Structure 1
Amino acid sequence: MTQSTLHHPLTIRPGTDADVPTMARIMSEVQPAHPWTPETLAYELKVLREHPRQPHDAHWIAEQDGEAVAVASVLQFPGMFHPDRYHAELMVRPAARGHGVGTRLAAVLEEHLRARGAQEVLAGAYENQPEALDFLTRRGFTEAMRYYDNVLDLSHFDPASWEGHGVLPEGVRLVSLAALEQELGQEAARRAFHAGFAEAREDVPRTGEASPLTFEDFQKRFDSPLVFSQGILLAVTDAGEVVGLSELWRAEADPARLNTGLTGTRRAWRRRGLALALKLAAIGVAREAGAREVWTGNATTNAPMLALNDRLGFRPRPAFIEFRWGGV
């Protein structure tokens, strides 16, 4: 695209499911550290729309000369749900910036949010995107929380230096979800996993209270095209209780990268070395799988996990800053 095309009229229309490939492409271009495939985006939207809380989602495409130059969305996320809280996303292709495309799309989002009576809106950008940060600030958003991308280059990880570390407490063993499903059956293994996961996630730093996670909702995670059950590691007691966990998920469009989901322990089992043992085991699985990197995301307020990741060799990338307008 040349800059001259940006003088042609801009049209903004509602997005449809047919636009998912276009949305995934623009989202990946704007945030290359977290690319999307059409399959993963379609799956995430399907899960959102099937959720019993009936969260809202709406999307728009900005086009110039028949070419999509920006996308925008208004969403409600079931995991941190309030009927008057919304998440807004607006992404303009680099070649189309500086010509008012974002301003036009923002006006559409603001009108939509006003019509729905939104009391709180969350949006964000990376700290190395000053134009986006200024765009939000000028619209009355203020910083709410920061999250680091922490990345471990597995070529620099020396497993020999960690021999003797990560010893599990007596009466606890480490097993993958895939192996536990073979032992107990799929539903029993997943119910045990859900119980530990649901408690651990309640204490993950976020900008709002975590919504309860039912087993039925939890089950849908395993339909994701990115699931990697051998990389979901569980600390299980002799009584069959999952007291700690660390997840690895496949990365969109990058077979040499694995993403960490939740790493956490149940409250009664914290400060007993479970997190270190689980992270070391996950790194071992990643190396065996031939991964080049392991990525994880941590709130900058989560000092214990940041310290653990730093010990293991994870290094921070630019932080994602979540902004808030209003409040519920």
Structure 2
Amino acid sequence: MTIIVRELGSEVRADLEGFAAVRHSALPFFLITRDSLAYDLAHMHADARYRPLVAEEDGEIIGTAQVGLLHESPEPGQAFVNVYVHPEHTHRGAGTQLVRAAEEYLAAQGATRLLAWVLDEPGNRVFAEAHGYRASRSAHFLRLDLANRALPPLGTPPPGVELRPAADFADDPRPVFELDAETVADEPSDAGAELTDYEAWLDETWRHPLIDHELTTVAVVDGRPAAFSLARTDGATRYASGMTGTARAFRGRGLAKLAKNDSLHRARAAGYTEAFTGNDTGNEPMLAINKWFGYEVCATEVRYVRELG
């Protein structure tokens, strides 16, 4: 059987559904839908040179690759290549062909350092190392059973603190952008990121179809957003934390925990039954908060790095 690697058809319904299905099968704790994938393709920043690839066998999509430049990194030449093959179609060469096509494309775009997330399983790690990648940091996927696990009781915000849904900032979301930019800058990472383009953030984050502005909670102190918990949902049963963080001047006061607890309670009331999140394994403060909520590690992934040239 012949495997063909090609670019994803951005307006081909079967391609979008096939890509999303493979990702869901290989990475069930990460939210992706046909509509969110189509939105990403239409709104990804031009500097990312984003080019998703698919591996097709007898007309069926069995593998995917997210490929592009980390244009928000202060260090030029950083790129990402994340390859996933449907669990029922591994060991057929699809992964190797996807990696080869992705590397050729990124090299042509000027990439000098490739970063890939790999599920922490022996076969996956052997595959990455056989292709010249070396292990770096790691991160956990965590799951919370919202339907059956008791959440910590809702606490009363301390004096001067107000919990508000992100929808309250619909007329002017810039304060939320500034808070997000500050927290992203301090997030553990191999490449780092600097959010400086407000219009791009509006397209890629604020208006993203998975973002739920009513379930996203912002802790406001004296009129200023100080902490937040960004909610992403599939519109059915699955909820995920896109980012939870606190501005530097307000850290150590439990505001992120307060915001996330509020968001989780409202998500459960809205009918969501599973909550997912992810944390760098070195991010002990956030891991402790999630353990307090009742999250349990459901998988671990390792960042692999390859230098080109």
Fold shared by both chains (TM-score > 0.5): yes
Corresponding residue of 2:159: 170
- Bigger radius of gyration: 1
Are 1:308 and 2:308 matched, yes or no?
Answer: no
Corresponding residue of 1:25: 21
Question: Separation in 2 of the partners of 1:308 and 1:95?
Answer: 36
Question: Separation in 2 of the partners of 1:290 and 1:55?
Answer: 36
> Would the aligned equivalents of 2:227 and 2:245 in 1 still touch at CA under 8 Å?
yes
Corresponding residue of 2:253: 272
**Counterpart of 1:278 in 2: which secondary structure?**
helix
Q: In the superposition, relative to structure 1, how do residues 85 and 312 fare at CA in structure 2: closer, same or farther (>3 Å)?
A: same
- The within-5 A match list for 1:179-258 is 180-181=168-169, 186-188=170-172, 190-220=173-203, 221-238=205-222, 240-251=223-234, 255-258=236-239
Q: TM-score, normalised by structure 2?
A: 0.89
Offset of residue 83 of structure 1: 4.2
Q: In the superposition, relative to structure 1, how do residues 217 and 131 fare at CA in structure 2: closer, same or farther (>3 Å)?
A: same
Question: Separation in 2 of the partners of 1:66 and 1:310?
Answer: 43
Q: In the superposition, relative to structure 1, how do residues 101 and 158 fare at CA in structure 2: closer, same or farther (>3 Å)?
A: closer
Corresponding residue of 1:69: 62
CA deviation map 1:213-264 (0-9, x unaligned)? 33212222232222211111111123x211111122113xx71221111111
Matched residues, number = 305
Question: Separation in 2 of the partners of 1:162 and 1:55?
Answer: 42
AA matched with 1:206: S
Offset of residue 99 of structure 1: 2.7
| Identical pairs, percent | 29
RMSD: 2.4
Question: Separation in 2 of the partners of 1:80 and 1:304?
Answer: 24
Greater fraction helix: 1
AA matched with 2:187: V
State which drifts further: 57-66 or 141-150: 57-66
> Would the aligned equivalents of 1:78 and 1:211 in 2 still touch at CA under 8 Å?
no
1:36 to 32, 47, 50: 32
> Would the aligned equivalents of 2:29 and 2:143 in 1 still touch at CA under 8 Å?
no
> Would the aligned equivalents of 2:29 and 2:276 in 1 still touch at CA under 8 Å?
no
Q: TM-score, normalised by structure 1?
A: 0.84
Q: Could you list the runs of 5+ residues in structure 1 that have no partner in the other structure?
A: 1-7
Q: Could you list the runs of 5+ residues in structure 2 that have no partner in the other structure?
A: none
1:113 to 106, 127, 134: 106
Question: Separation in 2 of the partners of 1:294 and 1:207?
Answer: 26
Question: Separation in 2 of the partners of 1:96 and 1:302?
Answer: 34
Question: Separation in 2 of the partners of 1:158 and 1:64?
Answer: 45
Offset of residue 280 of structure 1: 1.8
